[in-house]
Amino acid sequence: MLAEERDPRLKRLEFEVRATGVKLEQMSPLRSGIHTRGYLPHVKREGASYFVTFRLADSLPKEVFYKIQRERASRLACLAALQPTPSSTHAPAATTDTPQQIERDYFRKVEEYLDRGIGPCWLRRPEVAGLVSGALKYFDGERYLLRAWVVMPTHVHAVLWPMPNYSLSTIVKSWKGFTAHEINKLIGRSGRSFWQPEAYDRWIRNEVEHDRCCRYVIHNPVKARLCRLASDWQWSSAWPTP
């Protein structure tokens, strides 16, 4: 894609968000609207809860990531080509694809690979997982409400509601910046990125989706066959607290 060309995913997402009543031009895109930091478009909505995933820099080989990206881009391009235009005289061709389904399939493929635990898996080390868990919980109730979270061997999931005056981008940047600095000191590593620069996030539209995201997060270790019960995984909101 040329630098001056606009990412077609943003146009599709803008249409979807406007349909929900969000007026994109009235707010900072980091709080309500759409912005992009590279590979992924990010949708923000003021007052919404979010499902967030961020992963280790070396958890997903570039060739695997690019393959999954190409598959998603191809499906989005095909979907966009089927949309009617003002001058169109023909009914749009039938398709079962939707932007939501394409994003779900993209996330599922990435998640399936991450759950294999390929690579150094720094987050499997108790002292590292404990440090990340502590960072997630540190400002809970002050900057955000943390509904569910889990630290997996290669990635982190969280469902949270940013409190007023705190954006999701700022919260995730704080988590990643602090933990990367402390963990690199802990493991004696320097000059290399600890986290993948870009996180995956989506705003949660209703209570049904919220509950589904929370269940997914706390049961991820069970799905990845790391434990038998969600409550057996220490680095999770499902772990019993005294």
Beta strands 144-151 and 49-55: pairing type? unpaired
The two structure tokens encoding residue 207: 């209570």
Q: What is the pLDDT of residues 205-225, one digit of tens each?
A: 899 999 999 999 999 999 999
- For residues 153 and 118, is the Cβ–Cβ distance under 8 A? no
Give me the chain's average pLDDT, please: 81
CA distance 172 to 54: 9
Query: How far lies 121's CA from each of 46, 67, 113, 129, in Å?
Result: 34, 22, 13, 10
Mean pLDDT of all residues in 27-52: 56
* Parallel, antiparallel or unpaired: strands 200-204 and 144-151: unpaired
Fold of 8-81+96-232: Alpha-Beta Plaits (3.30.70)
Closest listed residue to residue 27, CA positions, set 46, 42, 14, 5:
46
The confidence score (pLDDT) of residue 104 equals: 80
Task: Give residue 92's pLDDT band: very low, low, confident or very high (50, 70, 90).
Answer: low
Write down the domain spans for the chain: 8-81+96-232
pLDDT tens digits, 45-91: 557 899 999 999 988 777 887 788 888 888 888 888 777 666 555 55
* Long-range contacts of 193-198, Cβ-Cβ distance < 8 Å, separation of 24 or more: 193/57, 194/56, 194/57, 194/122, 195/54, 195/55, 195/56, 195/57, 196/54, 196/55, 196/56, 196/57, 196/59, 196/60, 197/37, 197/38, 197/57, 198/37, 198/38, 198/39, 198/40
Taking residues 182-211, report their average pLDDT. 91
pLDDT tens-digit readout, 172-182: 999 999 999 99
